[in-house]
Structure 1
Amino acid sequence: MTHLEDRITNALRSSPTRPSSDLFERVVDSIEADRRRRRTTLAVVAGTAALIATATTAVLTLTPRTPDGDLAMPWWILEVGTIAVLLALAFWLGPFIKRFGRAYAADVFHDNPMTGKSYIVLTDIVYYLIFAAYILFSTQVAPMEDWAETVTPGQVTYELGRIGGILLVIGVLHGLNIVLMPVLGRLFSLNRSLSGAPRRDRHTDPVDLDR
């Protein structure tokens, strides 16, 4: 055997590993938690689809028609519907980004776990403030000059622009956050090292940002 293999063999023999007594229970709990998460996701998707279908049916049923049989939807119905879509995006997109960003944040702030948790909380606050401000700034309480009392192509274009605009804003800010987060993590680590604070081992004491 090579020198490296000898060192590995000696290390394993000097400190033999033992299986955890609750390993089987932890594996079973993990599998059950994954099943519950999948069932919850399917229930949320099914509930959202049912809610959208019910709302669409109600709108089409309650919307008056012209003498020719065409729909004459009042302008405010589309406005309220757009606000509902924006709110649904806010409450769905935020947890979605946070769920897949925890591991990235934990890796960036492995030397500063409390800073990482605080960073995630602060970014959540900023996220919802941006959504709330955007909805308030773009909401119309009266039809614009080029709108009629019923929905017009101009209003549809405006409402689609609102939805696309918030997605663009959140996408750009999220991209900047991905790029800047490692820089901030490095700065916090350097500051921690210069202050003489004890450094945390990322392998023996992993960061848990879920708590």
Structure 2
Amino acid sequence: MTHLEDRITKALTQSPTSPSPDLFDRVVESIDADRRRRRAGIRAASAAVAVVAVASTAVLTLTPRRNGVLEMPWWILEVAVVLVLIAIAVWLGPFIKRFGRAYAADVFHDNPLTGKSYIVLTDIVYYLIFAAYILFMVRFAPQESWGNEVSGLVTAQQLASSAARVGGILLVIGLLHGMNIVLMPVLGRLFSLNRRVPGSRTGSHQEADW
């Protein structure tokens, strides 16, 4: 009998293994965790929709009319742009995290705790970038390039600037997210190699450090 046949015979004839005693609890916990993630995603999407709705209502309410035509002051558009950026941040962050969790778990399968910490750190970086971008791009007075310093009303130049700011943050997050996708397998491989270092060597280093 060959080695392969011997292994097949043992696999077919050995007594079945008993299920894990906490299997049911783990399944229930996994289902509850999935429900919590779905509810969090729904809340984030609802919050983003509410922010956009409030911004639209404020724009239509605060914008004066002259001869039936809306004449929007420049600051209303600026407030609307800031609210849109905040809504994108609130919606896009959980969306990326939801679909990136499985990818991170596959990359850091040898280091699950490291993978969880990595996701938390990337979330912090994500919101810091969004907050910094919003603060850098907010305008407190009409710009000379907008051509509305006298009228104080929204012009085509201001609309173009606002669209460029919204597109700019999407481009920045897209580039950083792409770099993260490429870089994460490299980091996962490095951490896996680090775990395979002999324990004696690690212990000697720790003793030397102490």
- Shorter-chain TM range is 0.7 to 0.9
Per the TM alignment, residue 124 of structure 1 is displaced from its structure 2 partner at its CA by 1.6
Distance 1:81 1:27, change over 3 A: same
Instruction: Check if 1:122 corresponds to 2:125.
Output: no
1:174 match: 177
Instruction: Check if 1:159 corresponds to 2:158.
Output: no
Identity of aligned residues (%): 70
2:195 match: 192
Per the TM alignment, residue 58 of structure 1 is displaced from its structure 2 partner at its CA by 3.4
1:207 match: none
Question: Is the 2:52–2:83 Cα contact (8 Å) retained in structure 1?
Answer: no
Structure 1 unaligned segments of length 5 or more: list them.
198-211
Distance 1:30 1:188, change over 3 A: closer
Task: Give TM-score scaled by structure 1 length.
Answer: 0.76
Between Structure 1 and Structure 2, the one with more helix by share is 2
Per-residue CA deviations over 1:169-201 (Å, capped at 9, x if unaligned) read 11011111111111111112222222538xxxx
Distance 1:183 1:133, change over 3 A: same
Distance 1:142 1:94, change over 3 A: same
Q: Which moved more, 1:143-152 or 1:74-83?
A: 143-152
2:52 match: 52
Q: In 2, distance between residues paired with 1:117 and 1:34?
A: 16
Per the TM alignment, residue 34 of structure 1 is displaced from its structure 2 partner at its CA by 5.4
1:84 match: 83
Instruction: Check if 1:98 corresponds to 2:97.
Output: yes
2:108 match: 109
Using CA pairs below 8 Å that are at least 6 residues apart, which structure has the higher relative contact order? 1
Structure 2 unaligned segments of length 5 or more: list them.
201-210
- Backbone CA RMSD of aligned residues: 3.0
Per the TM alignment, residue 142 of structure 1 is displaced from its structure 2 partner at its CA by 0.6
Q: Which moved more, 1:7-16 or 1:38-47?
A: 38-47
Q: Which moved more, 1:46-55 or 1:94-103?
A: 46-55
Per the TM alignment, residue 107 of structure 1 is displaced from its structure 2 partner at its CA by 1.8
Q: In 2, distance between residues paired with 1:55 and 1:25?
A: 45
Distance 1:41 1:80, change over 3 A: same
Per-residue CA deviations over 1:84-115 (Å, capped at 9, x if unaligned) read 11111112211211121112112212222332
Task: Give TM-score scaled by structure 2 length.
Answer: 0.76
